[in-house]
Every structure is written in structure tokens, then in C-alpha cells.
Amino acid sequence: MNSTKTYNPQQCADSYLAQALRRIGASEAMEHLLQASYREIKFELPLIRKDGSLAVFHGYRVQHNHSRGPFKGGIRYHPSVNWEHSHALASIMTWKTALVDIPFGGAKGGIDCDPCALSSSELETLTKRFIIKLGPLVGPDQDILAPDMGTNAQTMAWLYDAYSQGEGDEPAVVTGKPVGLGGSYGRAEATGRGVAMVAAWAAQAEKLNLTGATVAIQGFGNVGSCAARFLAERGAKVVAISDVRGGVYSGDGFDIETIVHSKEAEEKSASALELARKGEAISNEELLTLEVDLLIPAAVGGVLHENNADQVKARLIVEGGNLPTTCEAAEIFRDRGIPVAPDILANAGGVTVSYFEWAQNLQRYRWERETVHQRLEKTLKKAWDNVRKKAEEDSLSYREAAYVIATGRVKHAIELRGF
Ligand SMILES: NC(=O)C1=CN([C@@H]2O[C@H](COP(=O)(O)OP(=O)(O)OC[C@H]3O[C@@H](n4cnc5c(N)ncnc54)[C@H](O)[C@@H]3O)[C@@H](O)[C@H]2O)C=CC1
Ligand SMILES: O=C(O)CCC(=O)C(=O)O
């Protein structure tokens, strides 16, 4: 990550929160309440590997706040998953659901494993044990799980199956399921679709023409690859992509449709560099400082920090991933006049369509694909308009405005409920 200070997601999330609470005039006690989690769960997950050895992983679920509705948030499989990451990511789920005004709170969790190093049957066993250990603390009115980094529709299908063994058939306990198993049309690509929408609105506000605009995307998984597709559809030129193994650059741009529909991309058997089939190899660090119009960090947190923010040359940053920008970097971007569409707005398309999936599951009724797309656009546009207006009225960055709106809504809900 090339940062002198170790990235501390918790400190970063707390600092964005504290700034917002000062602006809305929250008391110290309220700040404590909004910062702390409602419940934190950690457990051991032993697994006999296929070679007969015993491995012990750890499962986490942090349920941050449920003042506006049941806890909601993804499950991440990554070696970095720990309490700090889960807590920070859970708290930003609370602000994200409040900002797009859907009736949920915030949660996050996962397993500290490398999913690429486990077989499919090992992953299925771990996943099913994970939800069994959570027991009655999850459920359609309690805490609803979803995909995040390292998990996908198959993982959600296993969670649904294991939960339903004990509780009776209950698809609404988890969103992001395969469409053939109660999933919503449009959820798989919703986060990337939302990133492209927010990028287009922000580009227009910043007088940046998206047609022909050059784009660099860090992370070519679910969010990054879908954002690339939808931005290319809108006429942008994706000139750099990367994954955990490194990146690739081509000034002519890549043919994103061919890349994402290639057999290797579908089987996840090739790196971004191999998939691109042309261009120059670059590192993940180099990608972030390319001379491009639009930069989309769509992988891990803390990649834009005090040691590289000065070198970023993008005209607009749209946060596809969660917490990619440290608060020090956010200040540098503010001083340098580089607008940033923050994660809690830019990647909120995923949880918005998760809400639609949950609503469909509770009604046992499927919406048409077009209905999902239209309602997603309407929800995100309303949130964007609110953020832009607040930013203009109060001379705030988009992130500051988004946090003021979101934390204000959660504080209001807490006060309405009473203590
Ligand atoms: N899947 C979803 O619906 C949502 C995901 N997000 C966030 O978006 C980000 C990406 O998530 P997904 O695309 O779902 O994950 P994914 O697992 O589908 O893809 C992750 C991508 O990032 C790359 N990557 C991993 N570590 C990296 C590193 N250190 N440097 C550069 N690239 C690295 C991987 O190789 C892969 O290409 C995460 O921050 C996640 O929390 C946010 C909202 C919803
Ligand atoms: O779809 C969801 O419920 C949550 C997705 C997620 O984890 C996120 O937005 O960071």
C-alpha cells in the first residue's frame, strides 16, 4: 500500500464521522453512540482441509446500528478481515443506507481467509458454518447478509441454504443470491452500474465530458469490471485496469465488453494483465497516479493516502470500493480541488438493489429487470442531488455533505425512538 503510516480503517471512519457530528452539533454522548457498535460477534471456524490438515479461521460480524431498520451489509472473505475492518465497514454501511434513504442500518463481517486458496467445497463448508454460528442474530428482520470482496452469488446461495435448514425457507435473510434462487435481476452488476451513474452526474457537475474521458480502475472484480462496462457504454475510455497481481495500461483504451465476456474472465483464471491482451504492465501504485480524467479505486481500503495524494493527477475520483481514501488524503484532495464522489454514495447501488431484493423476497414477487434499473437510478439520483445541493449550500466537499446528511438522519431516528 506504500503508506508510511499503517492504514487504520477504524480511525479513518471515526474521523469522517467526528467531522460530520461537529457540523450537525451532536453531543459527545451522541458521538459515542454513533461511533460504537450495537453488537460485535467473533468466533473460531475450524476446517479440515482437503489434505487432512486442520486450519482455523475466524468469523466476524459487527452489527453497528439499527435505528433506521435491520442491520444490513456484506460478508468479505479476505486475509485482512478482522475486528477493526469489520467495525469500520459496518459503520459506513449505516451512513450509506441512511444516505440513500433505505430502511436499513449497517453491519459488516466476513472470514479472514483467502478464497482463492480454498476449494469450492471448503468454501461451502466454511460459509455454512459461518451462518450457523451466527444463529438467531441474523434473519430478515434482524441482520441481512450480502456479497462483498471475495464473496459472490454462490456464497449467498450457501448462506441461504444453511439458514433455511434451521429456520424454514427464508430467502430474505441474504441478498445478492443467484437469480435462479430468489436473487433480484440487476443485483450482480448494481454496484458498478451505480458507480457509473454517480460518475456521470459528478462529471457533469464538474464540467468534465464523459465521452472520451480516460478512466483508470483499480480492482477488476465485481465492482471494477461492472463500472468499466457501464462507463465504456457511456463513451468513456478505460485506459488502465488492475487486480491484486498488478495492472495494465493502454492509451488507446481497452475493449471492456470483450474482456469481461472472455472465458478466462468468467472462470477468473487470468490476471487483469493477461485479460487485457495488450498494453503495458504497471503496478497498482502507478495506476493511482496516472494522468487520467477519472480514477476509480474499486478494491481494498486506504490506497489513497498522505504519501500519494499529492501525485494523483485524476480530475475526478469516484470511490467504487469502501474507504479507499484516508482522511489525510481527503484533505489533500480538497485543498488541491480534486472532487471525490465518496463510497457511501458512489457504491451504494449494491445495497440499494439488495433492498429491492429483500422487498421482493418478503413479497414472494419478482420485479422486471427494467423496474429494478429505473428504481435504482431514481434512488441514487435523489441521493446525489441532495449531496450536491448540500455541498454547494454549505461549501462542503461531496464526502462532507454526504456524511452530514446521513449522520443527521441516523441521529434523528435515534431521537425519535427514544432511549
Ligand atoms: N460487491 C458489492 O456489491 C460491493 C462491493 N463494495 C466494495 O468494492 C470493493 C471491491 O469489491 P468487489 O468488486 O465485490 O470484490 P471482488 O472480490 O469481486 O474483486 C476485488 C478485486 O480487487 C482486486 N484486489 C484485491 N486486493 C487488491 C489490492 N491489494 N490491490 C489491488 N487490487 C486488489 C482483486 O484482485 C479483484 O480484482 C470492496 O472495497 C468492497 O467492499 C462496495 C459496495 C458493494
Ligand atoms: O448489498 C448489501 O447489502 C451490502 C453491500 C456492501 O457490503 C457494501 O455496500 O459495502
pLDDT in tens, 293-349: 999 999 999 999 999 999 999 999 999 999 999 999 999 999 999 999 999 999 999
Q: Which of 139, 115, 129, 111 is nearest to 42 (CA)?
A: 111
Q: Which of 228, 230, 212 is nearest to 220 (CA)?
A: 228
Distance from the CA of 292 to the center of ligand 1, in angstroms?
Answer: 21
| Residue 5's pLDDT band (cuts 50, 70, 90) | low
Residue 242 sits in a domain whose CATH number is 3.40.50.720
* 114 plus 163 within the same structural domain: yes
Q: What angle (nearest 5°) sits at the alpha carbon of residue 286, between those of residues 285 and 290?
A: 130
Radius of gyration of the chain (CA): 20
Alpha-carbon gap, residue 203 to 215, rounded angstroms: 12
Dihedral sign (CA 292, 295, 300, 302) = positive
Dihedral sign (CA 324, 326, 332, 334) = positive
Q: Per-residue pLDDT for 262 more than 50? A: yes
Dihedral sign (CA 336, 337, 343, 344) = positive
Q: Whose CA is nearest to atom 4 of ligand 1?
A: 148
217 alpha carbon, closest ligand:
1
- Domain that residue 63 falls in: 37-171
Q: Write the DSSP symbol of residue 112.
A: S
What is the tens place of the pLDDT at every residue in 348-377? 999 999 999 999 999 999 999 999 999 999
* 152 carries a ligand binding annotation: no
Q: Is the CB of 110 under 6 A from ligand 1?
A: no
Instruction: Give the ranges where 179-297 is alpha helix by DSSP (H).
Output: 187-205, 222-233, 256-260, 263-267, 272-276, 284-288
Distance from the CA of 162 to the center of ligand 1, in angstroms?
Answer: 25
* 101 plus 68 within the same structural domain: yes
- Tell how strand 214-218 and strand 237-243 pair up: parallel
> Taking the CB of residue 221, how many other CB atoms lie within 10 A of it?
19
Q: Which of 230, 211, 228 is nearest to 377 (CA)?
A: 230
* 86 plus 167 within the same structural domain: yes
Distance from the CA of 277 to the center of ligand 2, in angstroms?
Answer: 32
* 191 carries a ligand binding annotation: yes
Domain boundary, last residue among 292, 319, 346: 346
> Taking the CB of residue 209, how many other CB atoms lie within 10 A of it?
11
Q: How many domains is the chain built from?
A: 2
What is the tens place of the pLDDT at every residue in 181-236? 999 999 999 999 999 999 999 999 999 999 999 999 999 999 999 999 999 999 99
Alpha-carbon gap, residue 66 to 248, rounded angstroms: 42
Element (H, E) at 108: strand 106-111
At residue 263, the pLDDT reads: 85
Q: Is the CB of 62 under 6 A from ligand 2?
A: no
Q: Which residue reads 452488476 in cell numbers?
A: 189
Residue 208 has which C-alpha cell?
A: 468534465
Whether 73 maps to a domain, the answer reads yes
* 284 plus 240 within the same structural domain: yes
Whether 314 maps to a domain, the answer reads yes
Q: Per-residue pLDDT for 285 more than 70? A: yes
Whether 116 maps to a domain, the answer reads yes
Q: Which of 231, 227, 232 is nearest to 298 (CA)?
A: 227
Q: How far is CA 365 from the centre of its chain?
A: 27
At residue 264, the pLDDT reads: 86
Whether 20 maps to a domain, the answer reads no
* 144 plus 268 within the same structural domain: no
Q: Is the CB of 298 under 6 A from ligand 2?
A: no
Whether 76 maps to a domain, the answer reads yes
* 162 plus 218 within the same structural domain: no
Q: Whose CA is nearest to atom 44 of ligand 1?
A: 350
Measured CA distances, 63 to 80, 87, 156, 216 (Å): 19, 8, 18, 34
Residue 133 sits in a domain whose CATH number is 3.40.50.10860
What is the tens place of the pLDDT at every residue in 9-30? 999 999 999 999 999 999 999 9
Q: Are 298 and 221 in contact (CB under 8 A)?
A: yes
Q: Per-residue pLDDT for 2 more than 50? A: no
Domain boundary, last residue among 292, 313, 346: 346
Active site residues: 108
Q: Per-residue pLDDT for 1 more than 90? A: no
* 233 plus 331 within the same structural domain: yes
* 155 plus 204 within the same structural domain: no
153 alpha carbon, closest ligand:
1
Mutate to test the pocket of ligand 1, among 76, 97, 222, 273 (most ligand atoms within 8 A of CB): 222
Q: Are 194 and 350 in contact (CB under 8 A)?
A: yes
Q: Whose CA is nearest to atom 9 of ligand 2?
A: 351
Q: Is the CB of 67 under 6 A from ligand 1?
A: no
Domain boundary, last residue among 171, 204, 239: 171
Q: Which of 86, 147, 87, 83 is nearest to 115 (CA)?
A: 147
At residue 408, the pLDDT reads: 98
Q: What angle (nearest 5°) sits at the alpha carbon of residue 77, between those of residues 72 and 79?
A: 130
Whether 157 maps to a domain, the answer reads yes
* 222 carries a ligand binding annotation: yes
* 129 plus 238 within the same structural domain: no
Q: Is the CB of 243 under 6 A from ligand 1?
A: yes
Whether 396 maps to a domain, the answer reads no
Q: ipTM value, please give it.
A: 0.99
Q: Whose CA is nearest to atom 1 of ligand 2?
A: 351
* 198 plus 282 within the same structural domain: yes
Q: Per-residue pLDDT for 3 more than 80? A: no
Whether 394 maps to a domain, the answer reads no
* Mean pLDDT in residue range 389-416: 98
* 241 plus 341 within the same structural domain: yes
Measured CA distances, 172 to 126, 176, 184, 185, 373 (Å): 21, 10, 11, 15, 20
At residue 246, the pLDDT reads: 96
Q: Are 347 and 371 in contact (CB under 8 A)?
A: no
Task: Give the whole-number percent of the chain exceeding pLDDT 70.
Answer: 99
Q: Whose CA is nearest to atom 2 of ligand 2?
A: 351
* 196 plus 321 within the same structural domain: yes
Q: Is the CB of 351 under 6 A from ligand 2?
A: yes
